[in-house]
Amino acid sequence: MKNRMFRMFTLLFAVAVLFLPLSGQAAQTRIQAKNVILLIGDGMGPSQFGAAWIYSNRVLMRDLRMSELMKKGRTAYLVNDTADAIVTESAAAAGQIATGQRMTARALSMAADGKTPVKTILEMVKEKKLATGLVTTSGITDATPAAFAAHVAHRSNEESVADQELKFGVDVLMGGRKQFFLPESAGGKRKDGRNLLEEAQKAGYTVAGTAEELKAAPTGKVLGLFNMSNMSFEIDRAATQEPSLAEMTRKTLQILSKNKRGFFAMIEGGRIDHAAHRNDAPATIRDTLAFDEAVGVAMDFVKKNPATLLIVTADHETGGMALIGHSKESKEYIGMNLKAIEKATASFEAMVGKWGKKPTPEMIKEDVKQSLGIDLTDDEARTVADDTIKKLDPYNYGYDYLHSLGFVLRPYLRVGWGSQTHTASPLFLFGSGPGSEKIGGLLHNTESFKIMKAALRLK
């Protein structure tokens, strides 16, 4: 009996030893990602996230999909300083995520000499014949998508970016700033007289200009340009004209997943940043929620396609957003005014756009009442009309009327702003899927490139 047991153990041991290298290999194959979906909330710092989290849980009565992903997957803090600055802008930040190297301000995936292109992860996956996609609610020629597919010395050269994105052959391009694809004679901004929409069609792209056209587009290459300028803030968006970020994400994943080798998609909530630049709390929150919906679409895709590394992060925080405690009436701790945020029906940008060059305090009072449901005092309306905040600190508060409006609304909305521009606040980076085991602790944004590269086994 003892002898038989011994023989059985020996046999089992031998079998285990025999299969050990195989199972190791199987585990290695398992951790290779076929697809990478990178979602970037432009300007989405911890306060933007926190404001959307509170709003979602207490007004919409549901948790964020982002918190679901954080709970299921892995989360890290992310820092983002660059080669030449402590506070970054989107070009350097996106370049660092796209290339893994420290960048200088406003250059797009270029070495510090301003001339030498640095290879991006999108170029690497293209060499491996994976499908590629870039999607944003900002301009498709804006810094974040541009850093993945283009190399220019200064991000303002958007004519060249549009050209390079099409030459690259990115399979899916969706966003705003159609103006950089059209010649001046057709209402665009191209000085070279070229019509890139026609050129794209000849190169095999379906060109879509509305939400309906996008829905109807076949699953080949798509160039979706839904606004001459940036796409609308979520709070102002007409759903028949412009698709939501979630709709664009769904279509993108549907198209890219046709490639049997896999794909890389960068999907950006580009206007969280723009709303925060304008110190506009309701628009910031709505755009963060629209971004969250897109994260949800990606999470649902991952459920059916588990060989996908899903990463959600931000490039930088914008505005020094702070959820402050006290109201107009008392020093009791209360926090963000959810009812007022819920009532807001227009972005600050749309409001100021209606005011003209010299708005009167009366006009401002009336519009704030109508668009935000808030009764400003005469002093407050005058502070906005005089644009006091901009006069006091023009470089940190540069937009006309918006910061003065943001300032007088502080005790009503209980949201404050430290600046008109980006800050060095640490960010989140979280995700799931093969390769996500490296997410944790404190990461630098150059390391997000390394995580994606390792997950796809790129050399």
> And the tokens for 397?
């508060």
| Alpha carbon distance 270, 39 (integer Å) | 10
Size of interface with Zn ion, in residues (CB under 5 A): 1
Piece of the chain touching Zn ion by CB under 5 A; list 15-23, 159-167, 271-279, 327-335: 271-279
Tell me how far CA of residue 160 lies from CA of 97, 142, 152, 198, 238, in angstroms. 21, 11, 8, 16, 30
Burial of 9 (0-12, 13-18, 19+ CB in 10 A): exposed
- In the complex, the smallest distance separating the C-beta of residue 275 from Zn ion, rounded to whole angstroms, is 10
Residue 39 pairs in a beta bridge with: 267, 312
Nearest CA-CA partner of 306 in 127, 72, 136, 130: 72
Tell me how far CA of residue 368 lies from CA of 59, 340, 409, in angstroms. 22, 11, 10
Return the number of the residue (273 or 280) whose C-beta is nearest Zn ion: 273
Helix (H) or strand (E) holding 189: none
- In the complex, the smallest distance separating the C-beta of residue 25 from Zn ion, rounded to whole angstroms, is 45
Is 90 an active-site residue?
yes
| Alpha carbon distance 135, 170 (integer Å) | 11
Q: How many Å separate Cα 427 from the centre of its chain?
A: 13
Piece of the chain touching Zn ion by CB under 5 A; list 242-250, 265-273, 357-365, 448-456: 265-273
- In the complex, the smallest distance separating the C-beta of residue 421 from Zn ion, rounded to whole angstroms, is 7
Residue 380 sits in the site that holds Zn ion (CB under 5 A):
no
Return the number of the residue (178 or 422) whose C-beta is nearest Zn ion: 422
Per CB under 5 A, which of residues 151..170 are in contact with Zn ion? none
Residue with tokens 């023989």: 7
| Alpha carbon distance 109, 83 (integer Å) | 13
Return the number of the residue (221 or 278) whose C-beta is nearest Zn ion: 278
Catalytic residue, candidates 90, 371, 419, 432? 90
| Alpha carbon distance 202, 194 (integer Å) | 13
- In the complex, the smallest distance separating the C-beta of residue 73 from Zn ion, rounded to whole angstroms, is 27
Per CB under 5 A, which of residues 67..96 are in contact with Zn ion? none
Return the number of the residue (159 or 273) whose C-beta is nearest Zn ion: 273
Return the number of the residue (147 or 200) whose C-beta is nearest Zn ion: 147
Residue 273 sits in the site that holds Zn ion (CB under 5 A):
yes
Piece of the chain touching Zn ion by CB under 5 A; list 5-13, 142-150, 156-164, 270-278: 270-278
Piece of the chain touching Zn ion by CB under 5 A; list 93-101, 189-197, 267-275, 347-355: 267-275
> And the tokens for 145?
């998508």
- In the complex, the smallest distance separating the C-beta of residue 271 from Zn ion, rounded to whole angstroms, is 10
Q: Which residues are catalytic?
A: 90
Contacts with Zn ion, residue ranges (CB under 5 A): 273
